[in-house]
Amino acid sequence: MEKTEQQKIFSWARDFGIKLSDYQIHLFGIYLDELWEWNKKLNLTGLSSRQRLVTELLLDSLIPSLFLPEEGRLLDVGSGAGFPGIPLKICKPQLKTQLIEANSKKANFLKQVIRITKLHEIEVIKGRIEKDGSILSHKGYHIITTRALAPLIQTLAWCVPYLMSGGLIVNFQGSKFAEALEESADIIKEYGLFLYKSVPYKLPEKDSQRHILIFMKHREL
């Protein structure tokens, strides 16, 4: 990673209120360099511009970090090339993280990133949440993240059974987030969820409005 790219990540993150250390920037560099090389052969992300990888994937993944706890168990569902799971793990190293991904090539890439960054307490699970729930933590998760997995209503149906009481589901949405919420109103009520945070934002050099929806599962009395 070039110094100018490091400075951009640091500056953009700071603009969103996210403070990153030099070591975290270093780890992001290792991650992005590896992704850039793999992407040339396997097209893991569908993005051919390195700057788009930085803004649309890396920075986008970091934004919910402001609203998440420092510790606990995190499950990133349909992790793909590791967004948002790996950036959030780098940002909050105390989170015990699992990345579940069905695609073998993407799962192998995730394992390689973990090896070269030497991140601790993070593992890759090859599978699908809707089929392979038996291999997930029987204790449940404090945080479940999903990005471009499925429509919100389906995402919640798959993920809520693995969410602890008081836990958070983080879901990335575009400008039509209100429609997704309306379609999911019944299941949100049925599963004992409420909208804990709705975070509107725009990525650098992008005009479109995005939203991060953070749902909390009601605590058991």
CATH code assigned at 120: 3.40.50.150
pTM of the model: 0.95
Task: State pLDDT tens for residues 84-118.
Answer: 999 999 999 999 999 999 999 999 999 999 999 99
Task: State pLDDT tens for residues 11-38.
Answer: 999 999 999 999 999 999 999 999 999 9
Q: Which domain holds residue 208?
A: 3-217
The arithmetic mean of pLDDT across residues 163-184, rounded, is 94
How many distinct structural domains can be found in the chain? Answer: 1
The arithmetic mean of pLDDT across residues 209-218, rounded, is 95
Q: Are 80 and 46 in contact (CB under 8 A)?
A: no
Residue 108, burial from CB neighbour count under 10 angstroms (0-12, 13-18, 19+): middle
- In this structure, what token pair is assigned to residue 119? 């991140």
pLDDT level of residue 169 (50, 70, 90 thresholds)? very high
Share of the chain above pLDDT 70, in %: 99
In whole angstroms, give the CA distance from residue 141 to residue 77: 12
